[in-house]
Amino acid sequence: MEPGTNNKTEPDEGALVKRNMLRASQVLIDLLVLAAAFFVAFWLRFGALPPLDLIGRALLVAPYVVILEYGTLWLFNVPRFSWRYIGLREATQVVKACVVYSGILVISRFLFVELQDLHPVFRHGIVPLGVTLGNAVGSVAGIVGVRVLRRILAERAEIRERIEPSSTRTRTILVGAGQAGVLVAKELVARPELGFDAVGFLDDDPVKLGSEIHGIRVVGKTDDLAVHAERLQAEQILITMANVPGSIVRRIQALAETAKISVKIIPGIYKIVGGEVNLSRIRDVAIEDLLRRDPVKLDQAALEGALTDKVVLVTGAGGSIGSELCRQIMSFKPRQIVLVEQAEFGLFEIHRELKRKFPKTQIEPVIADVTDVARMESVFARYRPSAVFHAAAHKHVPLMEWNPGEAVKNNVGGSKCVADASHKFGCAAFVMVSTDKAVNPTSVMGATKRAAELYVQTLAARSQTRFVTVRFGNVLGSAGSVVPIFRQQIANGGPVTVTHPDMERYFMTIPEACQLVLQAGSMGEGGEIFVLDMGKPVKIVDLARDLIRLSGLTEEEVPIEFTGCRPGEKLYEELSAESEKTTKTKHPKIFVGVQMELDHADLKQKVSELLESAAGGQTAVRDALLHLIPEYTGATEEATERASERPAGALRRVSV
């Protein structure tokens, strides 16, 4: 570039010419539309052959009327609006301009009526009121109409460009013609590049039968899915219902299997924001959809009081439950959150995620072992948390059978350490995450969690800190849980291994479990064990069959093998012992059991003996567990006999 040359990019000359021609053509079209509206209004008012003087009047007045109308449109910025993106806002501006220039014409009419006595020429400016009204309607319809036509043609051209000539679209039946279904239908029609050809709606509301939504007809009820799928030659089903429970998803999945077509769903469709849904998230139905329950309704005020602008500490922050607790706690805007985790990588991941999503909140990553008393006390002394959520634990039943000493050190010793620190440093609330396996435990893992429950209860009776325990069953998708294992086995071609055909478990999604943990943590006065409503138990073999079918396979292709119960496992889990007599709370999905009245000194001594036994062999640990937990059934026969000689009434229960 030569010195002094202007380096500003100049518009291409051809582009300038094209733009000027486009604008000139738009102005000309608007003028023609306004003129046509005026003459059509005259014709409608006076018939096919109006008097000659009126024809002359129309020809004389028309240029002035058109100039007035276009000038008013210009004052309202109508000519500057892009025709391609005409919408309600632009149409409203056209109507406003029409009202203004029609008002001017009406005022002019009465003015010229008065002035015609001064000179006959003024009578030519008198425009009949019927013509003014017809002109107003016609000009609005014409100005808006040509722009709408331009938009329609442009969108169709874009659609043709987005679709490759060789691409195919999958014929799809939409299930659910409610608000969410309407929005999905609108998006599918506007975005054919997604590959969905919506051929019909299914909905169980008889009022909607036969109606059309964005050109898609409601053809019948969901029970007739197979019939309509065959008639419409549908290749797949798309569930478009918001807040759809798992039972309905399961029913639709079964109906689709009968029709031999696939099912897809939009996860999180109940989060419709601004009248839009995220169609990019459409996926195959997953096991979480089949087991889905109604969304949890939380007492926001209670949770805000416990968490907002508070310092919150979470142990096991890098685990499945701990990390989700952190995510949900952050939505209540704590002043600071302290992430305590022994596993370096898990802590790194959750810290990085929270820093990205919540850059303004103080987030402290702390590598620490919850069994290290000195380390935990230094953490509490530094951060002084108001609320503590204790999720750190060893949870895998067979591994803890093989390593009972480690289960005792972490599940009992770690819980004791964190609970003692919460008491010593005056925390307002301590919430311990427990498990249904603590009820009448048959495993080391369950017995150690029960021991931790008892210690927290006895500490609650002598502390200003509000200690509560929350107990629930299995969570879908947690690390090492059955669903990821089954998926891996299916991916490897099988077999899928199930321990026993009658084995049942309670299941809950991780987000739901954590929501209820937070809610339970804001309830009670201290010492309670809250039990979450887990719904109905699910047979593990049924879960395996669902996963195989959802993978598009059959049991012939991926067989199921029964391997026998593993050490410490029960066929059926219990959420509460019979003696606990759980009762309802103010939250429909949270129950509370009776509180045990414990001898603190006796329990503390037994916990100390249990922790000392962790350094010994497996027999010593199991014997110590039985000494503390009489309902534990995983100890040696000799220890069981000794426990049966214990004086009755060592543990007494009282109502909460």
The CA distances from residue 411 to 5, 431, 469, 595, in Å, are 77, 14, 13, 21
Q: Helix or strand or coil: residue 492?
A: coil
Write out the E strands in 180-308: 196-202, 212-213, 216-220, 236-239, 262-265, 283-284
The DSSP H or E segment spanning 367 is strand 362-367
Q: For strands 474-476 and 507-509, give the pairing.
A: parallel
Residues 6+ apart with CB under 8 A from 393: 316, 410, 411, 414, 415, 433, 449
CA neighbours closer than 13 Å in the CB half-sphere of residue 439: 22
Backbone φ and ψ for 364, nearest 5 degrees, come out as: -110, 110
- How many Å apart are CA 38 and CA 34, to the nearest integer? 6
- How many Å apart are CA 113 and CA 90, to the nearest integer? 35
> Other CB atoms closer than 10 Å to residue 554's CB: what's the count?
11
Contacts 24+ apart (CB under 8 A), 359-364: 361/330, 361/333, 361/334, 361/335, 361/336, 361/337, 362/335, 362/336, 362/337, 363/336, 363/337, 363/339, 364/336, 364/337, 364/338, 364/339
Across the chain, which distance is largest between two alpha carbons, in Å?
127
- How many Å apart are CA 349 and CA 318, to the nearest integer? 7
The DSSP H or E segment spanning 366 is strand 362-367
The DSSP H or E segment spanning 606 is helix 600-613
Q: Annotate 344-354 with b (16+ C-beta within 10 A) or e (fewer).
A: eebbeebbeeb
Residue in the block written with tokens 């008892």: 454
- How many Å apart are CA 313 and CA 337, to the nearest integer? 6
| From 310, 395, 409, 437, active-site residue | 437
- How many Å apart are CA 519 and CA 541, to the nearest integer? 32
Please confirm, yes or no, whether 437 is among the known catalytic residues.
Answer: yes
Query: Shortest CA distance to 625 belongs to which of 402, 408, 334, 460?
Result: 408
- What's CA 519's distance to the chain center, in Å? 18
Q: Which two tokens stand for residue 332?
A: 């209540």
The CA distances from residue 493 to 399, 501, 548, 550, 560, in Å, are 26, 21, 10, 14, 11
Backbone φ and ψ for 314, nearest 5 degrees, come out as: -125, 120
- How many Å apart are CA 632 and CA 623, to the nearest integer? 10
Amino acid in the structure at residue 209: L
Active site residues: 437
